[in-house]
Structure 1
Amino acid sequence: MNLYEAIFVRKSIRKYSMDKIDQKVIDHIMNFADSIPMLFDDIKVKLELVQLADLKHFQPGILTVKAPYYLVLYSTKESGYLLNAGHLMEQIALYITARGLGTCYIGNLNLKNKVLEEEEYEQVIALAFGEGECEVYRQSDKAKRLPLKSIAVFKEEADKNVRSIVSAARLAPSGMNSQPWRMVVYNNRIHLFCKKNIFIRNVMKETGLLDMGICLAHILIGAEEMWLEAKPLYMNNISSQSFKKNDYIISVKMS
């Protein structure tokens, strides 16, 4: 199973066996994580593998998910760092899924006994993972997602490859399953927007940008599966405009 195939079967797992995973598998996961390029060159990240046994301050309720392992992502706060974090962590989550293990996003991990030496980094997101107590895969039609017509506007007739990419983006996970992404689709480019929410905008702003990074990862993985060269870029003619219902995030040009 590759990353694209994992998109269609992954689900969030909230109950885990506390058995340890073979160290070779852990090494493969960490090596894969280290191989992922950043969206933006000036962003630096640090990944920390934490075992449940290492969390001396763990208490029921602090974490929504009790798992044997957590992968914690720290990042410098450069422009686009939240988008980058979501893009990076989702690829790791899909890689772990492809290895037959369960994953679940959690907002952050209370690491009172862990202090980063580099003060420029902040904890951004964490991923719980391990052997699931239940089936870790599902059929894609069981995913609770908005219909394609609610999240994508096709400005021209798109071929089957582009439609497959948009279908993969539709299945991206998001905080509280909010599915904030909106796409304007052409045959050689996709413009990615984030839906505005005036009631919880301040609370959900960071989560929304992480979600957009996750969706972007699905688009880029889908493009690679379709043998298309895809490049994320900002379009100045779009970013300079003001939109009533959505915020412009980024575009993906394909060739």
Structure 2
Amino acid sequence: MNLYEAIFVRKSVRKYSMDKIDQNVIDHIMNFADSIPMLFDDIKIKLELVQLADLKHFQSGILTVKAPYYLVLYSTKESGYLINAGNIMEQIVLYITARGLGTCYIANLNLKDKVVEEKEYEQVIAIAFGEGENEVYRQSDKAKRLPVKSIAVFKEEADKNIRAIVSAVRLAPSGMNGQPWRLVVYNNRIHLFSKKSGIIKSIVKETRLIDMGICLAHLLIAAEEMWLEGKAVTLSNISSQNFKKNDYVISVKLS
């Protein structure tokens, strides 16, 4: 199973066996994570693998789950760092899924005993993962997602490759399943927008930018599967405009 195929079967897993994973598998996961390029060159990240056994202050609740392993992403706060974090972590999630393991995004992981030394880094996103107690896969038609017509506007008659890309974007996970992405689709480019929230809180805006990074990961993975080169760019002629219902986030040029 490759990353593209994992998009269509991955689900959030909230119950785990506490058995340890073979160290070779852990090494492969971390090596893959280290190989993922940043969206923007000036962003630096750190990934920390944490085992439940090493956490003295773990607190379970509705926003987190008990799992044998956690992967925490820290980032410097450069422009685009939240989108970058979502993009990187979703690729890791899909890689773990392809290895037959379960994953679940969690709101935050209280690491009182483990703090990244460099003060310029902040914890952005974390996942729980491990052997699931039950099935870790599902059929794509069981995912509760908005229909394509609700998230995408096609400005041209799209070919099968473009429609396949949009279908992959549609299945991206998001905080509280908010699905904030809105797409304006051409055959050689796709513009990504985030639906504006009625709640004006910085935490909501930050979460949505992470969600947009997750969505972008699906788009770029699907483009590669269709033998298309996808390049993420910010277009000033769009970013300078004010839109009533959506905020412009980024564009992907396809060739």
- The TM-score, its normalising length taken from structure 1, stands at 0.98
Q: Distance in 2 between matches of 1:97 and 1:80?
A: 26
Q: Which runs of 5+ in 2 are unaligned?
A: none
Which residue number corresponds to residue 120 of structure 1? 120
SS at match of 1:125: strand
> After the TM superposition, which residues 78-97 of structure 1 pair with which residues of structure 2 at under 5 Å, given as runs?
78-97=78-97
Contact 1:62 1:110 in 2 (8 A): no
Query: Which amino acid in the other structure matches residue 228 of structure 1?
Result: L
Structure 1 segments unaligned to the other structure (5+ residues) = none
The root-mean-square deviation of aligned C-alpha atoms, in Å, is 1.0
1:215 paired to 2:179: no
Q: Percent identity?
A: 84
User: Which residue number corresponds to residue 105 of structure 2?
Assistant: 105
Contact 1:18–1:68 (Cα < 8 Å) also in 2: yes
Distance 2:171 2:7 in 1: 7
In structure 1, what is the Cα distance between the partners aligned to 2:61 and 2:45?
28
- Do the aligned partners of 2:52 and 2:68 also contact (CA within 8 Å) in 1? yes
Q: Distance in 2 between matches of 1:6 and 1:60?
A: 27
Partners in 2 of 1:9 and 1:61 — Cα distance? Answer: 26
1:224, 1:80 → 2: CA distance?
A: 22
Equivalent AA in structure 2 for residue 127 of structure 1:
I
Q: How many aligned residue pairs are there?
A: 255
Match of 1:124, SS?
strand
Q: CA–CA distance in 2 between the matches of 1:197 and 1:233? A: 24
TM-score when normalising by structure 2: 0.98
Q: What is the letter of the counterpart of residue 38 of structure 2?
A: M
Tell me the equivalent position of 1:197. 197
- Structure 2 residue 236 is the aligned partner of structure 1 residue 239: no
Q: Kindly state the Cα deviation for residue 64 of structure 1 after the two structures are TM-superposed.
A: 1.9
Distance 1:162 1:52 in 2: 42
Letter in 2 for 1:130: G
Kindly indicate whether residue 37 of structure 2 is the aligned counterpart of residue 34 of structure 1: no
The Cα shift of 1:199 comes to 2.2
Q: Residues 137-180 of structure 1: CA distance to partner in whole angstroms, max 9, x if unpaired?
A: 00000000000000000001011001000000000000000000
The answer to whether the Cα contact below 8 Å between 1:63 and 1:109 also exists between their aligned partners in 2 is no
**Residue 248 of structure 2 aligns with which residue?**
248
Q: 2:144 aligns to what SS in structure 1? A: coil
Helix, strand or coil for the counterpart of 1:253? strand
Q: How does 1:57-68 map to 2 (within 5 A)?
A: 57-61=57-61, 64-68=64-68
My pick for the range that moved more, 95-104 or 63-72, is 63-72
Partner of 2:155: 155
Q: What amino acid maps onto 2:68 in structure 1?
A: P
In the TM superposition, what whole-angstrom CA distance separates every residue of 1:71-106 from its partner, at most 9, and x where no partner exists?
A: 000000000000000000000000000000000001
- Change in 2 beyond 3 A, CA 1:100/1:121: same
Amino acid of the structure 1 residue aligned with 2:42: D
How far apart, CA to CA, are the structure 2 residues paired with 1:155 and 1:209? Answer: 24
